[in-house]
Amino acid sequence: MDDTPGEDSVPKLPDARSIRDLSEVLGDENAMKVFRAPDGTLEAPRVRYEVDHPADWYPQLLAAAASGEVLDARHASEPGSNNA
């Protein structure tokens, strides 16, 4: 059996959706380095891309956190709440 890396391993792009997902990170050098590694998967560069580009997801996180604070404040002011 040949010990060449990647010969008998799982394909990095197993389906059509994978190609679409790859297009999200294709222009990012750091994410592509992760993908090109012998043991690289598509998930790893997507995570790397998200870390390097918080502008794509950070506003949504802040909005969710603010919503949680509003809900906590409403709950705290309810009769019978330990926080009132």
Q: Is the pTM of this model over 0.75?
A: no
Helix (H, G, I), strand (E, B) or coil at 73: helix
Question: What CA–CA distance (Å, rounded) separates 78 from 51?
Answer: 38
Task: Give the pLDDT of residue 54.
Answer: 75
Please provide the DSSP assignment of 25-60 as one string.
HTT-HHHHHHHHSTT--SHHHHHHHHHH-GGGTHHH
Mean pLDDT by 10 residues, the chain (84 residues): 57 86 87 89 85 77 79 63 54
